[in-house]
Structure 1
Amino acid sequence: MLHNISIKWHHLNPGLVYLISFSMYLASVTIQTTTFDVYYPHRVGAIIQLLTIMMMLVKIVFFDELTSKQIVGEVSLLGLVVIVALISKNNFLITTLLLIMAARDVDFRTIVKCYLWIVGGIMFVAFVASEIGIIQNITYATSEGFRQALGVVYTTDFAAHIFYLCCAYLYVRARSFRLLDYLPVFAALGIIYVFTRTMTDVIALSALIILFTLYIYRRKLQKNWLVRAILRYSFTAMPIMTFLILQLSAGFNWNDSIYVKLNDFLSNRLSFGSDAIFTYGFKLLGQSPIYINGWGGSRTTALSKGAGDLTYFFIDSSYLNSLIAYGVLLTLIIVLGTSIFLYRRSRSNDYLLPVIIVAISIASAFDQHLLTVSYNVFLLMYFSKLPNYSLKVGPSFKKSVLKD
């Protein structure tokens, strides 16, 4: 009997097990970002999360063929994340890391396609349901007009969902891209601007369109030194954006007119980032609790250097949020690890992932979804099965990009 069980166990398709478990978890956490959340039993979400953790561990332990070095690395990383999750009280970090590690040898394009169907489908259903009154369409009146969440819990979250869906869509379409494929992306850009007024996602999506165009036409543009430089050094985007938002937030000054104008354009993200750094600081392994009050509260009376009545306070930047809540060590591993990974992909003639991550790096400076798999499916790229690029079209690493 045990022999028969062993045979059946080893006949399981680990990739299929991963995709089914991932799809269930992705659907669960995505529903919780919509106003369907009030009808969704949180106990069901907790059970699905526990089942996902169990299945990811099963795949890693029983199916993945790891070297001794890989085992030490994964166990060490998991240990660090468990400690950070306990300190910061954010257990989703454990699930996210296990999804990343268990994606080993699973086709990344298939993962992205699952994400597109599941998240895209839920967003569409939520939009229709909010328009016909089944669920709430949360709307905020501002000086710039009405901002609508269209079935999602907040306007910026809806915009972020659309942005990440566009990233995934263009990644999948890159192999057989036609100009008509831009139509859904430009439609998404218009929806974000008209209905949510989320300028940070407008900027990030515009950057994605420009960078993706450079990638698609890199053969024709490869004699242009600027294009070569952008493609070659795109792997540095995340460290650069982390440093930039950290410097802008730490150096924010209400008496500097340039800072104030930039802060207004970014919906007070710099001033709130400055307050967060002043109030909490950075610790090696994170901290809790971090007191926030988001969801569109009034921004006129906010935390000011630890004093004053708090009606709205939120750490929007993924980088600042990670540094403050999850600690310096894990943040460095994420930022530098991503840059090293993308450098290796660039050396292997893959410029598609790096240019998409540039846009995600820009978005992550201003929103908190970098480490949330219901938004950022590109978290699962690190160990998954990625395509090989034999055609060397792009800037060679063997010579300077500044010379033709």
Structure 2
Amino acid sequence: MIETQTRLGVLKTHELLFFMSLIPYLVIEMFGTTMFSIPYFLHTIAKAVLIFAIISVFFKKTWSVYFLLVAALFSITGVLVWHATSDTGVLVLAIFLMGAYKIDVRKIITVYLIIIGSIMLLTFISSLLGLIPNLQYIRPDTGIVRNSFGIIYPTDFAAHVFYLYLFSAYLFLWKRPWLLAGVGLFTAWFLIRFSDARLDALTVLITGFIFVLIYYLPKNRLYHKLMSWSALATVAAAYLSYYLTVHFNPRQPFYAKVNAQLSGRLSLGKRALDLYGIKPFGQVIEFIGNGGSTDSVSNYNFVDSSFLKVMLLYGAVFIILFIILTTIRSIQSVNSKDYYTLAVLLAVAVNSMVAHHLIEPYYNVFSILLLADFTKNWHQTKRRKNF
């Protein structure tokens, strides 16, 4: 087994191979969400380098039965979705899930934060200097200006900010709850003030609140029981998204009010479900939304809820498998009293009800970490040292 010394510590061969796939993939796909002009063939390269992640699996020496079962189910599903839709999204996710197996989550999240954070900073500054467009959208009902700061759309900018905050909290900020709360409040204010991204700002506040509660609440039996129930957050969020959409009726005051608060997400989701239905392994749907230009879109039909969008595009089989895998990871976190990992999965579930980035690693890197190494519970160790 070859080992390489890096700033991430000693990397084993399978880890080095995995990062040879992940790093170029994150860089290319992240730039694809900005207003920087990049050649389209780079996206092909981002998929081509996945070969290193595939090879890395064979350098892990041993595999658990659970890993082999998950790898087989997701790989087969990915191939069937690819056959039905010509979309490789599920297959890419399956490859990264397998490649991340046995790798410390801290190493992967550190790479994510460095790459995504650096590109976000570069994009933000470039948009202010006029090197790339800062697309500005105006809400017709209020006249509020929504800035995208070099990202293709204000809510995409807000989603990047949300996930950067979430994973920074998970890795670093949890040790300083008042700093975590202060950064969260400023971030939420900034998103509302300059991008009018109210739902993303709300999930930032919810995330900060959950992390602070975990830090301060006494770890007694009642606390553990409450956290145990939160392991079902992904199931609950997915079911609630589907139930509200399927039963949406604009003539009922409750649904009309919820739909208005969610910027029409229920009506758009209902229309998509009625028009396309749900297929086992997905279907080809051309979702048309805003982004990349301030030109108005007359035939807007975009579905924002991740659970609905993924189910429509990639089928019922994949979304059920993904929810089950996420829930198992949540239960494992409860059993090991790894409450901060549980908090991340809870925050992702809430955000995914209103945003469509659930299985996009350059937004939600946790989507590829469900088989990674969570055994080093550094949160518990360092918390004990603080007392």
Q: Judge same fold: TM > 0.5, yes or no.
A: yes
1:132 Cα deviation after fit: 0.7
Output the CA distance in 2 between the equivalents of 1:197 and 1:170: 23
Considering Cα pairs closer than 8 Å and 6+ residues apart, tell me whether 1 or 2 has the greater RCO: 1
Structure 1 match to 2:265: 269
Question: Any residues of structure 2 matched to 1:28-47 within 5 Å, and which?
Answer: 28-36=28-36, 38=37, 40-47=38-45
1:77 Cα deviation after fit: 2.2
Structure 2 match to 1:91: 88
Structure 2 match to 1:211: 210
Output the CA distance in 2 between the equivalents of 1:244 and 1:91: 28
Structure 2 match to 1:170: 169
1:222 Cα deviation after fit: 4.0
SS at structure 1 position matched to 2:72:
helix
Output the CA distance in 1 between the equivalents of 2:359 and 2:225: 28
Distance 1:179 1:94, change over 3 A: same
Output the CA distance in 2 between the equivalents of 1:131 and 1:266: 30
Q: Could you list the per-position Cα deviations for residues 73-108 of structure 1 after superposition, in whole angstroms to 9, with x for gaps in the alignment?
A: 423420211111332332132222211111112110
Distance 1:68 1:116, change over 3 A: closer
Q: 2:286 aligns with which of 267, 284, 291?
A: 291
Structure 1: state its 5+ residue gaps.
1-5, 303-309, 394-404
Output the CA distance in 2 between the equivalents of 1:133 and 1:77: 43
Q: Could you list the per-position Cα deviations for residues 200-241 of structure 1 after superposition, in whole angstroms to 9, with x for gaps in the alignment?
A: 21221121111111111133x747x4x554322111111101
Output the CA distance in 1 between the equivalents of 2:124 and 2:188: 16
Alignment check: 8 A CA contact 2:147 2:194 kept: yes
Output the CA distance in 2 between the equivalents of 1:215 and 1:361: 18
Question: Which stretch of the first structure deviates more once superposed, 170-179 or 133-142?
Answer: 170-179
Distance 1:68 1:212, change over 3 A: closer
Q: Could you list the per-position Cα deviations for residues 143-181 of structure 1 after superposition, in whole angstroms to 9, with x for gaps in the alignment?
A: 331011111001111111011111100000256334224
1:131 aligns with 2:119: no
Structure 2 match to 1:119: 116
Alignment check: 8 A CA contact 1:137 1:148 kept: yes
Structure 1 match to 2:325: 337
Question: Any residues of structure 2 matched to 1:223-302 within 5 Å, and which?
Answer: 225=222, 227-288=223-284, 290-295=285-290
Structure 1 match to 2:8: none
Alignment check: 8 A CA contact 2:135 2:149 kept: yes
Task: Write the letter of the residue equivalent to 1:235.
Answer: A
Alignment check: 8 A CA contact 2:84 2:281 kept: yes
Alignment check: 8 A CA contact 2:20 2:52 kept: no
Task: Write the letter of the residue equivalent to 1:311.
Answer: N
Task: Write the letter of the residue equivalent to 2:78.
Answer: V
Task: Write the letter of the residue equivalent to 2:372.
Answer: S
Alignment check: 8 A CA contact 2:54 2:95 kept: yes
Alignment check: 8 A CA contact 2:289 2:301 kept: yes
Alignment check: 8 A CA contact 1:26 1:374 kept: yes
1:348 Cα deviation after fit: 1.1
Structure 2: state its 5+ residue gaps.
5-10, 382-387
SS at structure 1 position matched to 2:301:
coil
Q: Could you list the per-position Cα deviations for residues 327-358 of structure 1 after superposition, in whole angstroms to 9, with x for gaps in the alignment?
A: 11111111122112211221111111111211
Q: 1:57 aligns with which of 39, 54, 59?
A: 54
Task: Write the letter of the residue equivalent to 1:108.
Answer: V
- Structure showing greater Rg: 1
Alignment check: 8 A CA contact 1:287 1:325 kept: yes
Question: Any residues of structure 2 matched to 1:20-31 within 5 Å, and which?
Answer: 20-31=20-31
TM-score, normalization by structure 1: 0.85
Task: Write the letter of the residue equivalent to 1:139.
Answer: Q
Alignment check: 8 A CA contact 1:252 1:274 kept: yes
Distance 1:17 1:251, change over 3 A: same
Q: 2:344 aligns with which of 356, 360, 371?
A: 356
Alignment check: 8 A CA contact 1:64 1:104 kept: no
Alignment check: 8 A CA contact 1:318 1:367 kept: yes
Alignment check: 8 A CA contact 2:17 2:55 kept: no
TM-score, normalization by structure 2: 0.89
Output the CA distance in 1 between the equivalents of 2:274 and 2:212: 40
SS at structure 2 position matched to 1:315:
coil
Alignment check: 8 A CA contact 1:147 1:196 kept: yes
Output the CA distance in 1 between the equivalents of 2:378 and 2:172: 19
The percent of aligned pairs where both chains have the same amino acid is 26
Output the CA distance in 2 between the equivalents of 1:325 and 1:157: 19
Superposed structure 1 runs of 4+ greater than 6 Å apart: 6-9, 390-393
1:296 Cα deviation after fit: 6.1
Alignment check: 8 A CA contact 1:231 1:355 kept: no
Task: Write the letter of the residue equivalent to 1:58.
Answer: I
Q: How many residues align?
A: 370
